[in-house]
Structure 1
């Protein structure tokens, strides 16, 4: 397959999914990871896509939210490994926040039998935890149908009325300089949940490490514990800023 044909296929995948990782892309277009990585580098240089640490992102996604459905199907193995580890720290009696991120959503399958209270702005989380041992508190406000989440001023005020032992959150990107979000709504909810929690867990697959996005909304002081499948020099930088890093294998 020529580069032109591969590039066309890559753009089709990005249109469908919003973002892809190297391993997934190599399998889809039947090339080596080295070739896939080189193609992405060339396409990024030509302004056709946005290069992330672990793959690529559709250019337009930098200025509009990626749908929950698209995010939910990316890097599933990594997300499950991250959330399985996170669930080990959740005990009966905990009150926890879970945000509307696609990674945090994967936490649901590992906590259904725990006698805990979950406060969330995520409609998929509510649907997944119905008829389980978990007590659910759905944050009120305006519904964003694309992100399948509740946002807005009322949502922020709702969050600030509660206190949680732990918050399990996600971001669009995390670097040594700070945390990045795709919208002010999501950043606002993340900040509110973090401020109302004793311990903040950031759940990030490798594609989020070293990646920036539309809005830098806080420095790393917001985070107590980072759980990721990423294991490279940036991790040392995070640890130097006081974050406990828990690495998982995929």
Structure 2
């Protein structure tokens, strides 16, 4: 198949499905992974689509963000909204729960509102772990690499540890929420940790202010139907067709 033919099929598929994975395109084009990735890179450079980890999305599929703010910057944004989200999320923790709390500025705020119940926590946020211990809770930290910009523990060792756990509930952060790209984050290592947690949780709650809707970042860690969203307000009611959403303001 000629290069131009592959380009046309890739663009048509992306426009129809809004997002597509490399593996899907390999089967459709009967082409190798390296060929498809090269085609996606070229089309992205031409401004025809947006390259994301593992595939591509349409240009008008929300706004794409390639740069992640550090914790200090994030902490200054939407503070009232995050407080309201965190307060409601904390109310969902029950006696004898085994809970995972993701690293992040909104999830950190949860800790101040947690009820004094018999609950065990696991977190990959080292600031979160300290605050939980100070509140008197039993808390575990997985091993792994410390990512300073997000104050999160990540990496293969972290995932191996988390795969041994079975959580009643997990409370996750996200950098983007999109109908077609799902929940996304900037870093593949952080994304892999999030996916492992969700796969090992009975109930998943994703904490996000309204600004994350319609945004896509580099790595999808779960589709929308994998988690219930807790937000301050929902800017687009379309999302309610894909998962349960709780507005708290």
TM-score (norm 2): 0.70
Tell me the equivalent position of 2:140. Answer: 137
Which of 179, 183, 198 is equivalent to 1:179?
A: 183
| Residue 204 (structure 1) aligned with residue 205 (structure 2) | no
After superposition, give the CA deviation of every residue in 1:146-184 in whole Å (9 maximum; x if it has no partner): 211111000011111101100000110102111111110
Q: Per-residue displacement from partner, 1:90-147 (whole Å, max 9, x unpaired)?
A: 1121111111121111111111623211111001101211222311011111111221
Match of 2:216, SS state, is: coil
In the alignment, does 2:193 pair up with 1:192? no
Structure 1 counterpart of 2:224: 220
- Distance in 1 (CA, whole Å) between partners of 2:198 and 2:219 is 17
Taking structure 1 as reference, are residues 114 and 74 closer, same or farther at Cα in structure 2, changes over 3 Å only? farther
Whether the 8 Å CA contact 1:72–1:102 is kept in 2: the answer is yes
What is the CA–CA distance in structure 2 between the aligned matches of 1:107 and 1:187, rounded to whole Å? 21
Partner residue of 1:237? 238
Q: Which moved more, 1:85-94 or 1:68-77?
A: 68-77
Aligned residue for 1:70?
Answer: 73
Residue equivalent to 1:16: none
Please tell me whether residue 99 in structure 1 is matched to residue 102 in structure 2.
yes
Match of 1:247 in 2: 247
- Is the Cα–Cα contact under 8 Å of residues 155 and 190 in structure 2 kept in the other structure? no
Cα distance per residue 1:22-62 (max 9 Å; x no partner): xxxxxxxxxxxxxxxxxxxxxxxxxxxxxxxxxxx9x9xx4
Could you say if the C-alpha distance between residues 63 and 212 of structure 1 is closer, same or farther in structure 2, counting changes exceeding 3 Å?
Answer: closer
Q: Distance in 2 between matches of 1:217 and 1:115?
A: 30
Contact 2:91 2:114 in 1 (8 A): no
Report the 3-state secondary structure (helix = DSSP H, G, I; strand = E; otherwise coil) of the residue aligned with 1:109.
helix
Q: Over alpha carbons, which structure has the higher Rg?
A: 2
Unaligned runs of 5+ in 2: 1-62
Aligned residues: 186
Contact 1:167 1:197 in 2 (8 A): yes
User: CA–CA distance in 1 between the matches of 2:144 and 2:67?
Assistant: 20
Structure 1 residue 230, shift from structure 2 partner = 1.9
Change (3 A) 1:214 1:127: same
In structure 1, the gaps of 5 or more residues are 1-56
Alpha carbons 1:114, 1:133 under 8 Å: kept: no
